[in-house]
Amino acid sequence: MLNKKYYSLLIRRALAEDLGSAGDVTSKAIFSKKQKAVFILLAKDDGILCGITPFAEVFRALNKNISVATYFMDGDALKKGDVVARVSGSLIDILAGERTSLNIISHLSGISTKTAAFVAATTDPKTGKRGKPTILDTRKTIPGMRRLQKYAVETGGGQNHRIGLFDMVLIKDNHVDAAGGITEAVSAARSRWGKRFKIEVETRNLDEVKEACAVGIDRIMFDNMDNETMKEAVAIVAGRAETEASGNMTLERLATLGETGVDFVSFGELTHTVKIFDFSLKRES
Protein backbone atom coordinates (compact mmCIF):
# COMPACT_ATOMS: atom_id res chain seq x y z
CA MET A 1 0.00 0.00 0.00
CA LEU A 2 1.14 3.56 -0.76
CA ASN A 3 1.43 5.49 2.50
CA LYS A 4 1.40 9.29 2.42
CA LYS A 5 4.44 9.40 4.70
CA TYR A 6 6.48 7.85 1.84
CA TYR A 7 6.07 10.94 -0.31
CA SER A 8 4.90 13.96 1.74
CA LEU A 9 8.38 14.94 2.95
CA LEU A 10 9.85 14.22 -0.49
CA ILE A 11 7.34 16.57 -2.09
CA ARG A 12 8.06 19.37 0.39
CA ARG A 13 11.80 19.04 -0.16
CA ALA A 14 11.42 18.90 -3.95
CA LEU A 15 9.23 22.00 -4.03
CA ALA A 16 11.59 23.88 -1.71
CA GLU A 17 14.50 22.93 -3.96
CA ASP A 18 12.69 24.17 -7.07
CA LEU A 19 11.05 27.31 -5.71
CA GLY A 20 13.65 28.60 -3.27
CA SER A 21 12.67 31.76 -1.40
CA ALA A 22 11.44 33.73 -4.44
CA GLY A 23 9.16 31.13 -6.02
CA ASP A 24 8.52 30.81 -9.76
CA VAL A 25 9.79 34.24 -10.78
CA THR A 26 8.92 33.69 -14.45
CA SER A 27 5.25 32.89 -13.88
CA LYS A 28 4.91 35.58 -11.21
CA ALA A 29 6.15 38.16 -13.70
CA ILE A 30 3.75 37.13 -16.46
CA PHE A 31 0.53 36.08 -14.70
CA SER A 32 -1.60 37.30 -11.82
CA LYS A 33 -2.45 35.21 -8.76
CA LYS A 34 -6.14 35.39 -9.73
CA GLN A 35 -5.74 33.72 -13.12
CA LYS A 36 -7.20 30.22 -13.39
CA ALA A 37 -6.42 27.46 -15.87
CA VAL A 38 -7.06 23.82 -16.67
CA PHE A 39 -4.22 21.47 -17.65
CA ILE A 40 -4.32 17.85 -18.79
CA LEU A 41 -1.79 15.16 -17.95
CA LEU A 42 -1.14 13.37 -21.22
CA ALA A 43 0.55 9.99 -21.64
CA LYS A 44 3.13 10.03 -24.42
CA ASP A 45 4.18 6.37 -24.01
CA ASP A 46 2.55 2.97 -23.58
CA GLY A 47 3.07 1.39 -20.17
CA ILE A 48 1.93 1.02 -16.58
CA LEU A 49 0.86 4.02 -14.52
CA CYS A 50 2.39 4.59 -11.09
CA GLY A 51 2.45 7.67 -8.88
CA ILE A 52 -0.86 9.37 -9.65
CA THR A 53 -1.48 10.10 -5.95
CA PRO A 54 1.81 11.92 -5.25
CA PHE A 55 1.38 13.68 -8.61
CA ALA A 56 -1.88 15.17 -7.34
CA GLU A 57 -0.45 15.84 -3.88
CA VAL A 58 2.21 18.17 -5.33
CA PHE A 59 -0.48 20.62 -6.42
CA ARG A 60 -2.44 20.32 -3.18
CA ALA A 61 0.76 21.10 -1.26
CA LEU A 62 1.02 24.36 -3.21
CA ASN A 63 -2.65 25.31 -3.13
CA LYS A 64 -5.37 23.30 -1.41
CA ASN A 65 -7.95 24.77 -3.82
CA ILE A 66 -6.37 23.13 -6.89
CA SER A 67 -8.58 20.32 -8.15
CA VAL A 68 -7.05 17.17 -9.64
CA ALA A 69 -9.41 14.77 -11.43
CA THR A 70 -7.78 11.40 -12.16
CA TYR A 71 -9.05 8.97 -14.81
CA PHE A 72 -6.65 6.08 -14.26
CA MET A 73 -5.34 4.26 -11.19
CA ASP A 74 -1.85 3.01 -10.38
CA GLY A 75 -1.36 -0.32 -12.14
CA ASP A 76 -3.56 0.60 -15.09
CA ALA A 77 -2.19 0.16 -18.60
CA LEU A 78 -1.75 3.44 -20.46
CA LYS A 79 -1.67 4.06 -24.18
CA LYS A 80 0.01 6.98 -25.88
CA GLY A 81 -2.51 9.81 -26.06
CA ASP A 82 -4.48 8.88 -22.94
CA VAL A 83 -5.63 11.79 -20.79
CA VAL A 84 -4.59 10.58 -17.35
CA ALA A 85 -5.68 13.53 -15.20
CA ARG A 86 -7.03 17.07 -15.33
CA VAL A 87 -5.61 19.79 -13.06
CA SER A 88 -7.71 22.92 -12.44
CA GLY A 89 -7.03 26.05 -10.41
CA SER A 90 -4.45 28.79 -9.97
CA LEU A 91 -2.36 29.10 -13.11
CA ILE A 92 0.74 30.25 -11.20
CA ASP A 93 0.54 27.40 -8.70
CA ILE A 94 -0.03 24.75 -11.35
CA LEU A 95 3.03 25.96 -13.24
CA ALA A 96 5.00 25.98 -9.99
CA GLY A 97 4.24 22.31 -9.41
CA GLU A 98 4.52 21.13 -13.00
CA ARG A 99 8.12 19.85 -12.99
CA THR A 100 8.07 18.29 -9.53
CA SER A 101 4.83 16.41 -10.24
CA LEU A 102 6.07 15.18 -13.61
CA ASN A 103 9.45 14.12 -12.22
CA ILE A 104 7.77 11.87 -9.66
CA ILE A 105 5.11 10.26 -11.83
CA SER A 106 7.46 9.82 -14.82
CA HIS A 107 10.10 8.06 -12.71
CA LEU A 108 7.68 5.78 -10.89
CA SER A 109 5.78 4.88 -14.06
CA GLY A 110 9.10 4.11 -15.71
CA ILE A 111 9.85 1.61 -12.93
CA SER A 112 6.41 -0.01 -13.06
CA THR A 113 6.55 -0.24 -16.84
CA LYS A 114 10.00 -1.82 -16.82
CA THR A 115 9.02 -4.26 -14.08
CA ALA A 116 5.93 -5.29 -16.03
CA ALA A 117 8.13 -6.13 -19.01
CA PHE A 118 10.32 -8.37 -16.82
CA VAL A 119 7.26 -10.06 -15.31
CA ALA A 120 5.84 -10.63 -18.80
CA ALA A 121 9.00 -12.55 -19.71
CA THR A 122 8.06 -15.18 -17.11
CA THR A 123 4.35 -15.27 -17.98
CA ASP A 124 2.71 -17.77 -20.32
CA PRO A 125 1.17 -15.65 -23.11
CA LYS A 126 -1.64 -18.17 -23.64
CA THR A 127 -2.75 -18.78 -20.06
CA GLY A 128 -1.49 -15.61 -18.38
CA LYS A 129 0.00 -17.79 -15.65
CA ARG A 130 3.28 -16.62 -14.15
CA GLY A 131 6.09 -19.11 -13.94
CA LYS A 132 9.43 -19.16 -12.17
CA PRO A 133 11.40 -17.20 -11.22
CA THR A 134 9.56 -14.46 -9.30
CA ILE A 135 10.93 -10.98 -10.06
CA LEU A 136 12.47 -9.11 -7.10
CA ASP A 137 13.98 -5.66 -6.65
CA THR A 138 17.05 -4.73 -4.55
CA ARG A 139 18.26 -1.90 -2.29
CA LYS A 140 19.85 -0.09 -5.26
CA THR A 141 17.49 2.85 -4.97
CA ILE A 142 17.64 6.65 -4.89
CA PRO A 143 18.15 7.82 -1.29
CA GLY A 144 14.86 9.02 0.14
CA MET A 145 12.79 7.36 -2.60
CA ARG A 146 13.12 3.68 -1.71
CA ARG A 147 9.57 3.14 -0.51
CA LEU A 148 8.15 4.83 -3.60
CA GLN A 149 10.44 2.92 -5.94
CA LYS A 150 9.63 -0.40 -4.31
CA TYR A 151 5.93 0.48 -4.48
CA ALA A 152 6.41 1.04 -8.22
CA VAL A 153 8.01 -2.41 -8.58
CA GLU A 154 4.96 -3.96 -6.90
CA THR A 155 2.68 -1.89 -9.13
CA GLY A 156 4.43 -3.41 -12.14
CA GLY A 157 3.83 -6.95 -10.84
CA GLY A 158 7.17 -7.60 -9.16
CA GLN A 159 7.87 -8.30 -5.51
CA ASN A 160 10.01 -6.51 -2.97
CA HIS A 161 13.13 -8.07 -1.52
CA ARG A 162 13.96 -6.66 1.92
CA ILE A 163 13.10 -2.99 2.38
CA GLY A 164 16.32 -2.15 4.21
CA LEU A 165 18.97 -3.53 6.50
CA PHE A 166 16.43 -3.84 9.31
CA ASP A 167 13.91 -6.43 8.11
CA MET A 168 15.96 -9.46 7.06
CA VAL A 169 19.36 -11.00 7.75
CA LEU A 170 21.22 -11.15 4.45
CA ILE A 171 24.70 -12.58 4.88
CA LYS A 172 26.78 -11.54 1.88
CA ASP A 173 30.31 -12.30 0.79
CA ASN A 174 31.90 -9.61 2.97
CA HIS A 175 30.08 -10.94 6.03
CA VAL A 176 31.15 -14.49 5.24
CA ASP A 177 34.79 -13.58 4.68
CA ALA A 178 35.01 -11.42 7.81
CA ALA A 179 33.23 -14.00 10.00
CA GLY A 180 35.39 -16.88 8.81
CA GLY A 181 32.71 -18.73 6.88
CA ILE A 182 28.98 -19.21 6.31
CA THR A 183 28.54 -21.46 9.36
CA GLU A 184 30.15 -18.91 11.68
CA ALA A 185 28.16 -15.99 10.24
CA VAL A 186 24.82 -17.81 10.49
CA SER A 187 25.60 -18.99 14.02
CA ALA A 188 26.32 -15.41 15.09
CA ALA A 189 23.09 -14.14 13.51
CA ARG A 190 21.04 -16.81 15.25
CA SER A 191 22.77 -16.15 18.55
CA ARG A 192 21.88 -12.45 18.31
CA TRP A 193 18.38 -12.59 16.82
CA GLY A 194 17.05 -16.12 17.27
CA LYS A 195 14.12 -16.62 14.87
CA ARG A 196 13.12 -12.95 14.72
CA PHE A 197 14.35 -12.49 11.15
CA LYS A 198 14.53 -14.71 8.10
CA ILE A 199 18.09 -15.52 7.07
CA GLU A 200 19.42 -15.48 3.52
CA VAL A 201 23.00 -16.31 2.56
CA GLU A 202 24.82 -15.31 -0.62
CA THR A 203 26.86 -18.15 -2.12
CA ARG A 204 29.57 -17.98 -4.77
CA ASN A 205 30.10 -21.67 -5.57
CA LEU A 206 28.63 -25.09 -5.00
CA ASP A 207 30.69 -25.75 -1.88
CA GLU A 208 29.17 -22.67 -0.27
CA VAL A 209 25.72 -23.83 -1.38
CA LYS A 210 26.29 -27.13 0.43
CA GLU A 211 27.47 -25.32 3.55
CA ALA A 212 24.45 -23.00 3.49
CA CYS A 213 22.12 -26.01 3.20
CA ALA A 214 23.82 -27.66 6.16
CA VAL A 215 23.04 -24.76 8.51
CA GLY A 216 19.35 -24.71 7.59
CA ILE A 217 18.51 -21.18 6.48
CA ASP A 218 15.47 -19.66 4.74
CA ARG A 219 16.89 -18.65 1.36
CA ILE A 220 20.11 -19.21 -0.56
CA MET A 221 21.30 -16.69 -3.12
CA PHE A 222 23.34 -17.86 -6.11
CA ASP A 223 25.65 -14.99 -6.98
CA ASN A 224 26.92 -14.63 -10.55
CA MET A 225 26.44 -18.30 -11.44
CA ASP A 226 25.77 -19.53 -14.95
CA ASN A 227 22.63 -21.54 -15.66
CA GLU A 228 24.27 -24.94 -15.49
CA THR A 229 25.81 -24.19 -12.11
CA MET A 230 22.52 -22.84 -10.81
CA LYS A 231 20.73 -25.98 -11.96
CA GLU A 232 23.22 -28.02 -9.94
CA ALA A 233 22.79 -25.67 -6.99
CA VAL A 234 18.99 -26.01 -7.06
CA ALA A 235 19.40 -29.80 -7.08
CA ILE A 236 21.70 -29.60 -4.05
CA VAL A 237 19.21 -27.43 -2.15
CA ALA A 238 16.41 -29.86 -3.08
CA GLY A 239 13.65 -27.73 -1.60
CA ARG A 240 15.30 -27.25 1.80
CA ALA A 241 15.37 -23.48 1.26
CA GLU A 242 14.13 -20.88 -1.19
CA THR A 243 16.59 -20.07 -3.96
CA GLU A 244 17.46 -16.76 -5.59
CA ALA A 245 19.55 -15.83 -8.61
CA SER A 246 21.45 -12.54 -8.46
CA GLY A 247 24.23 -10.76 -10.30
CA ASN A 248 24.66 -10.51 -14.06
CA MET A 249 20.92 -10.93 -14.60
CA THR A 250 19.27 -9.43 -17.69
CA LEU A 251 15.85 -9.40 -19.30
CA GLU A 252 17.21 -11.53 -22.13
CA ARG A 253 18.48 -14.13 -19.68
CA LEU A 254 15.07 -14.47 -18.00
CA ALA A 255 13.83 -16.67 -20.81
CA THR A 256 16.28 -19.40 -19.81
CA LEU A 257 16.29 -19.01 -16.03
CA GLY A 258 13.08 -20.97 -15.61
CA GLU A 259 14.83 -24.16 -16.64
CA THR A 260 17.20 -23.88 -13.67
CA GLY A 261 14.34 -24.20 -11.18
CA VAL A 262 15.41 -21.14 -9.18
CA ASP A 263 12.56 -19.52 -7.22
CA PHE A 264 13.48 -15.83 -7.36
CA VAL A 265 15.67 -13.50 -9.39
CA SER A 266 16.67 -10.01 -8.21
CA PHE A 267 17.37 -7.08 -10.50
CA GLY A 268 19.01 -3.86 -9.35
CA GLU A 269 18.25 -2.27 -12.70
CA LEU A 270 14.52 -2.17 -11.97
CA THR A 271 15.22 0.90 -9.83
CA HIS A 272 18.72 2.14 -10.69
CA THR A 273 18.57 2.10 -14.50
CA VAL A 274 15.18 3.41 -15.50
CA LYS A 275 13.92 5.16 -18.63
CA ILE A 276 11.29 7.64 -17.53
CA PHE A 277 7.75 7.30 -18.79
CA ASP A 278 7.01 10.32 -20.96
CA PHE A 279 4.16 12.53 -19.77
CA SER A 280 3.29 16.11 -20.59
CA LEU A 281 1.18 18.62 -18.68
CA LYS A 282 -0.46 20.90 -21.23
CA ARG A 283 -2.97 23.69 -20.88
CA GLU A 284 -6.32 22.58 -22.18
CA SER A 285 -7.47 24.53 -25.20
- Residues noted as catalytic: 99, 140, 172, 202, 223
- Find the radius of gyration of the CA atoms of the chain: 23
List, as one string, the DSSP characters of 14-25.
HHHHHHTTT--H
Torsion from C-alpha of 45, 50, 54, 56, nearest 10 degrees? 50
Cα dist from 2 to 52, 61, 124, whole Å: 11, 18, 29
Of 161, 111, 169, whose CA–CA distance to 133 is shortest? 161
The SS3 assignment for 279 reads: strand
DSSP state, residue 159: B
What distance in Å separates the CA atoms of residue 137 and residue 272, rounded to the nearest whole number?
10
